[in-house]
A and B are shown apart, each in its own frame.
Chain A
Amino acid sequence: MIATEKDLKTHTMMLDGEAVSFTEGETIYEVAQRVKTDIPTLCYDQRLEAFGGCRLCVVEVEGQRLPVASCTTKATPGMVVRTSTATLEKHRKTLLEMVASENREIDVDPLRGYAAQELATLVDRYDARGGRFRGKRSGATREDDDNPFILRDYDLCISCYRCVRVCAEQEGDHAISVMNRGFETQITVEFEGLLKDSACTFCGQCVQTCPTGALADKKALRFAELPGAIEKTRTICAYCGVGCSVDVLTKGDTMVGIQPAMDGPANHGALCVKGQFAYDFVQHPDRLKTPLVRGDDGKLHEADWDTALDRAAEGLRRVVDQHGRHAVYAVASGRAPSEAAYAVQKLMRAGWGTNHIDNCSRA
């Protein structure tokens, strides 16, 4: 919920010695986020209901004996909160050491997903790599799931339940569930089956919220070995009319993946299987790379732009000369950008003074 300036002045609390205003219903974590006070989390996704599972976001509240999870504790007037003390930091480091000890690896390829680096970043920040804790690991990787989109590398799972919650709360699909408890906890789907036999729609939201790369973008990982830094370009999805914001991931001139834009006005980070995974038509070998003109032999032959454009224009001129300006018609694309549609209609109107123009919306 977006609070207005007026609401914000309603109450005040103390956060790390500063007086900050908040609106009723805000949690301590939300207040801290708003005033740019960083509190570490692993199970938090701003789009989901707070879960309070990872306990990294605990803070000290004056008058309370034990630290509380800031993501699930509502701010109250006059509350005095400390987000970073020696005790808290030690607690966080211990938690991270325990979490890290359960996983096969901490450093995962950033192509695994939008949030895949969260655990590694925190482990480094808290210098929690050392591993005082050794022994049992949790989660069993599902190598048998041969779906081409989602890697189910549960060796890296830390049971934050973000995938379970994003599937239920954000997607409304309820495909992902949890089996067992403690070290035996296993993220799974109905009847422990394959994703394709479950309610999964392969929207990839679980991949993008996973903070360890346990759920990962298999298509993007095809490019893990490709040298070069990953660059992100903000754009809008190429498919339906909802207009979801996405980041196109590239390495050099290769498109290597798609990640949802969490601040996209139409989608707030949501995507579907097409927007998430059906992007590689762009760099498919079938793409037309040169203009083609039909020769006297009745076949299409490669040509340079000048030849092809001359041929295109010449044919139009001949038809207009012989049959008049109403003998030409144009169909604009509903897929190309607006500049294309505008240019096509201008060609017909400014060129020949006709309204012989339509787009592909009637079928």
Chain B
Amino acid sequence: MSNPLADMEKPDVIFAIGTNMTECHPVAATRLKRALKRGAKMIVADPRRIGLADLADLYLPIRVGSDVALLLAMAHVIQREGLVDPEFLADRTKESETFLEHVKQFPPEWAEQITGVPAKDIETAALWYGRADKGAIYYTLGITEHICGVDNVQSLGNLALMTGHVGREGTGINPMRGQNNIQGAGDSGALPNNYAGFQPVTDPENQKKFERLYGRKTDLEKGPTKVTALEMAGDQIRAMIIDGENTVVSDPDRHHCERALKALDHLIVIDLFMTETAQLADVVLPAAAWGETDGVQTNTERRVQRIRRAVDPPGLAKPDWWIICEIAKRLGFQGFDYPSAREVFNELCSVSPIYFGLDWDRIDRGEYQWPVPEQGHPGTPRLHEREFVSGRGLFRVIEYRDPAETISDDFPVWLTTGRRLASYHTRTQTGRSAGIDYLLPEETLEVHPDDVAAWGLSDGGWAEMSSPRGCVTIKVRATRRSPRGTVFASFAFNDTPVNVLTGGGYDPVTHTAELKVCPVRVVPA
């Protein structure tokens, strides 16, 4: 997030797009509810009539995968109505002229054809956001899990830049991170393109710096992403270490994923449970869980916080970092002799410009949000206050593209996937917590009542849902949360493996799968 969570109580106009916040980030949503109570207006764009939509002043029911069209048209209106912030454009951005010329082609009437949202509502949304003193954007995977995920994010960036809704209290572009430490994993350098602290591996200076630190030169070329690595599995890639991810159930195109992992000569899985992924491993190593190990995790607002051990791990289970360091030592690698998590974290701080002012003791109370470039620095709750990391904010000229697969006679229904309040990812944790089944005993396919009737289904009956990649049988739930022609399911339940169906395409830049769009056929089972 560019702005702190506390800022969620401050906007005049909230624009939430592709975020089912009341279910996936419920505590963050309480802050938006407080802003609404204070008088803020909220625009919610989502294909489904989610809980947040019920709270919205303006709900934009967009067709799945049509976000760019909506955002281009909003930019068009903001430009046409003279709501751009000329001072901000002049002082803080570049290439605005090209962008402002580009958006003239995309009036709301054009976007209505693609998004299904009435032109006048697109107009209203643009006017509210454009006229706001403090406009803030919130998004989650509904924006990124598309073949045009990067285009979506940059389109939101364009809106914030043209209106100057960035770098101030109650504004910003705020992605909500979905996993407790997904931010920290990237911060720590577990990325194919960056060393710790987002230092590009392609920069020879960084290569030298880390050669000095690690005693070995690392390639100047970026590594493949996980998605690519799975495609290379059994061919160029022969061994994998997977730490704490149930790849088989959480990734798109399950059959492809299983084939890939089975094709490896050697698979090491570190996990808490015998997951579907661990079952394929040659070596399974038991990790200490949350509550059993000391460490650090970084939240969605870049707040670096300590987690602490409350109980001992069961049996022989050990902290992940210890397991990895033991493997490294057995391979004869130097620099893996850490007495405890503290020393690992302190080394991370010493090599990372964004954590450089931090250490284990300093973050005891979780007061710091990165970047913290030197000791004594108070941290940075709000990014881009005076300038952007790259100097000036760059407008991107973006065109609308259809999803990788669009509905056809064979697959006439849009499936979109997501999460539910009471379950988390593949249920390795929530599925083993007492009582959760009371709230969510099984997966269901959410279908509009008219479609239930039109397709010969029944509420509570079974449907067979298929895509070009596979087929699942799933119980039907009639609900007006789904629009006509679009159905929804989560991928949480292994016995309803919805990710057998998904995986039609990937964003060319991030390799994030288009999990939010998958044309399917739904028939009574």
Contacts and interface: CB of A to CB of B under 8 A. Distances in A.
Interface of A: 147-149, 170-172, 196, 201-203, 218-219, 231, 233-245, 248, 250, 253-255, 264-267, 270-275, 277-284, 286-294, 300, 304-305, 308-313, 315-320, 322-323, 326-351, 353-363
27 contacts: A235-B306, A236-B180, A240-B177, A241-B180, A241-B300, A242-B299, A243-B305, A266-B5, A278-B424, A280-B434, A287-B315, A290-B315, A305-B326, A316-B331, A328-B241, A331-B240, A332-B243, A336-B181, A337-B307, A337-B321, A339-B296, A340-B243, A347-B241, A353-B218, A356-B223, A358-B226, A358-B229
Which of A201, A233, A244, A360 has the largest count of B CB atoms less than 10 A from its CB?
Answer: A360
Given A235-B290, A239-B424, 14 more contacts: A171-B30, A241-B177, A241-B179, A248-B310, A284-B432, A300-B284, A312-B285, A330-B243, A331-B247, A340-B324, A344-B241, A350-B216, A354-B223, A357-B191
B184 A337 contact: yes
A238 to B, nearest CB: 4
B114 interface: no
B311 A344 contact: no
B291 A255 contact: yes
Nearest to A315: B266
A333 B184 CA distance: 10
B297 A236 contact: yes
Which of A240, A283, A289 has the largest count of B CB atoms less than 10 A from its CB?
Answer: A240
Contacts of B285: 291, 308-309, 312
B224 A356 contact: yes
Nearest to A270: B27
Nearest to A263: B365
Contact of B347 (A266, A289, A294, A342): A342
Contact of A254 (B215, B311, B515): B311
A280 B433 contact: yes
Given A286-B432, A342-B189, A201 B421 contact: yes
A125 to B, nearest CB: 31
A351 B331 CA distance: 8
B188 interface: yes
A279 B321 contact: no
A339 B348 contact: yes
Given A331-B243, A337-B321, A354-B223, A281 B330 contact: no
B268 A315 contact: yes
Given A243-B299, A305-B318, A360 B179 contact: yes
Which of B190, B244, B367 has the largest count of A CB atoms less than 10 A from its CB?
Answer: B190
B169 to A, nearest CB: 14
A292 B22 CA distance: 40
Contacts of A310: 330
A149 B439 CA distance: 10
A346 B428 CA distance: 27
A238 B345 CA distance: 19
Nearest to B250: A363
A339 B314 contact: no
B227 A361 contact: no
A288 B284 contact: yes
Interface in B197-243: 201, 210, 214-219, 221-227, 229, 232, 236-243
A278 B429 contact: yes
Contact of B181 (A291, A305, A338): A338
A308 B326 CA distance: 11
B34 interface: yes
Nearest to A358: B226
A239 B14 CA distance: 25
A149 B435 contact: yes
